[in-house]
Amino acid sequence: MIIRKGSFICCLLILLSGCWDNKDINHRLMPVVLGITGEGDQYKAYLQVPRPESDEMGSQVIIEEGHTINQIVNKISVNMESSIDLLHIKVIIVDKELAEKGLSDLITGFMRSRDISSKALIAVSESNLDDLFSKISHYKAPEGSILLDYFEKNAGWEPQIALTRIWQVYRSIHSYTRDVAIPLVGMGDTTFLNHTGSAVIKNGKMVGRISSDETLLYNAFSGHSTNGKIEVLDDASVMILGNQLMTKNKFENDKPYLTTNISFKVMILETKNNPSAEKIKKELDKLLMGRLEGLLEKSQKNKADIFGMGQYFRKEIPRDKLKNWRSNYYLALKLDLNVEVDIQNAGNLKIPSK
């Protein structure tokens, strides 16, 4: 009898211990964009929540302040008829001043609480977030926010825009040999956004910036395809069809050596004055090499390894010396850069081979 009662109680516990804390989807607000700026010792958050309308998807922006993001969410939930679910946030926009001050506490809080997906994209705004989010609600988009389309590869993303996620920023904060670049955006005059380059993030702080053209090379080093980028030369314009990166490293006499070969496949779109294919190739090679050398010089000046070159030497450098990679080894790095251009397609133009 006692065994039967025990079995009955166990069955009840199994049946009653299901999704007791789940909330109906109709009683949950699912923001897709989160904006964050600093207000003294507090954060000011902007949540863009999709809102279905008659024949399209609109949105509303909710603004609140607090010492932490969780406190802000709790404040909003108290005044709303639905609970806030941050797991559906796809894009996080932080104020430039906050990025320069430091994002370590913010990013670490995201990773610790796991309320926000670590795959969410992050960007830095050079425009005032009050103005940005006031403008954003006037734009309609299928997913509820025009910002999502801006960073989607199957929508408005371009290869000169960095795609950096929360987990990558968190990894760089705790890494001796890898830093990241985060897209810099601002309000456009005739378009919603204006891409102004990328913010260089080192140890969680913005320490510099690179241009859109330099971001293209950063993406190439990061393994992203640069397909679709159009380069305008003096005598022609070409479109990049693909890219490939090959590296070879060695560590001798306490000095790092790295040989890097970047190859680009391109298609000729337009020409002027009937240039030869060889001339176009040399001109593009010179242009890309100059950008790459300038970007490396800028990165070493900021002591920020956005290329992740230190990753190639982690096994050669002792752990107690690895922390000096940015300040010592990176500055002493002997780098042999090579850029190769392969004209795959001349379109419908017949140009001389020499």
Task: State the amino acid at position 353 in one-letter form.
Answer: S
Residue 44: per-residue pLDDT: 94
- Cα 161 to Cα 93, 119, 199, 220, 224: the distances in Å are 15, 17, 11, 11, 10
**Which residue numbers in the chain have pLDDT < 50?**
16, 20
What pLDDT shows up at residue 20? 45
- Where in the sequence of the chain do the CATH 3.30.300.210 domains occur? 224-354
The per-residue pLDDT for 6 is: 57
Triad 55, 191, 51: Cα angle to 5°: 30
Residue 96 token pair: 């430039």
Q: Residue 206 CB: number of other CB atoms within 10 A? A: 22
pLDDT (0 to 100) of residue 351: 54
Q: Where are the alpha helices (DSSP H) in the chain?
A: 2-16, 69-78, 96-101, 104-113, 129-136, 146-151, 166-173, 212-221, 277-301, 319-322
DSSP letter (8 states) at residue 251: E
With beta carbons less than 8 A apart as the criterion, state whether 279 and 298 touch.
Answer: no
Q: Which amino acid is at 104?
A: S
pTM: 0.85
- List beta partners, residue 334: 257
**What CATH number labels 224-354?**
3.30.300.210
Element of type H or E holding 271? strand 255-271
